[in-house]
Amino acid sequence: MSDLRHLDELTKEPWFKKPWVILGTGPSLNHFDYEKWKDYNIAAIYDAAFACEKVRVTFASDHWWGKTEHHAYFERSEYVATRIINSDIPPFENVRYWEYDCDVEQLGGRRLFPDVRTYPCSNTSSFIVYWLCFHGVKEIYTCGIDGGWGVADVVRDLYREQATPERGWHPDRENEGVYGHASGHGVTLIKI
C-alpha cells in the first residue's frame, strides 16, 4: 500500500491556485461550454467528466473500482480521486486517495495515510467543496450542481440507473453540504 498517493499532494502543485470549476451531473451541465473554461482547474463529479475534453480531477468516492465501466474517467482526467475503500485494487499512476473518518472505522482503525488529514464523511460534491475550502480556495464556479431531480444528457446509462432515490441519491441533501461548507468557510460559489 505504500505506493498509494494522497489527494492532498495535488494542493502543492503550481496549478492548484488557478480558479476552480466544479461540474456536477445535474441538467444545467448540458449547457457547459468547455472551451470557455478549459484554462481553469475542472473538478468533475463522476460522469460530469464526459462534458469536457479534459478534466483536472474526476472525483468518484463510492466503492466503484470493480466496475470496469468507471475506468472511462481515466481517458479524460489528469487525476482520478477516490476514497481509501477503493485501495484494494492496484493503483493507477494518476489515482489519488483520501481517508474519510468512516473509512478508517471500516478498516478497524487502520490508517493508510497516518500523517495526512482524515476528512469527515461526506458525499462527493460536498467533499470537493470542503477539500477546496480547506486548502484555501475562496471562489468556486459550479455547473450541474442543481438540486432537485434529473441528470444531464452527457451521463451514461450506468450513472442514470444509479442516480435514483432508491439507490440513496438525494441531490438536495448533497447540495446542502456544498452550500454549507462554502458558507462556513467564507467561500463564494458562482453558478455558470
Name the domain count of the chain.
1
Q: What is the pTM of this model?
A: 0.88
pLDDT of 152 higher than 70:
yes
Q: Does residue 70 belong to any structural domain of this protein?
A: yes
Give the per-residue pLDDT at 64: 60
pLDDT of 123 higher than 70:
yes
Could you tell me the residue range of the domain that residue 132 belongs to?
A: 7-191
Cell 498509494 appears where? 4
Sheet of strand 95-100: strand arrangement: 118-119, 95-100, 77-83, 55-59, 41-45, 20-23, 139-143, 188-191
Number of H helices, E strands in the chain: 5, 8
Q: Does residue 98 belong to any structural domain of this protein?
A: yes
Q: Please write the tens of the pLDDT for every residue from 76-121.
A: 899 999 888 877 765 567 889 999 999 888 888 888 898 888 999 8
Averaged pLDDT of the chain: 85
Q: Does residue 2 belong to any structural domain of this protein?
A: no
Give the per-residue pLDDT at 171: 57
Q: Does residue 17 belong to any structural domain of this protein?
A: yes
CATH of the domain at 126: 3.90.1480.10
Q: Does residue 179 belong to any structural domain of this protein?
A: yes
Q: Does residue 22 belong to any structural domain of this protein?
A: yes
Q: Does residue 172 belong to any structural domain of this protein?
A: yes
Give the per-residue pLDDT at 105: 87
Q: Please write the tens of the pLDDT for every residue from 30-89.
A: 999 999 999 999 999 988 999 999 999 999 887 664 455 556 777 789 999 988 887 776
Q: Does residue 1 belong to any structural domain of this protein?
A: no
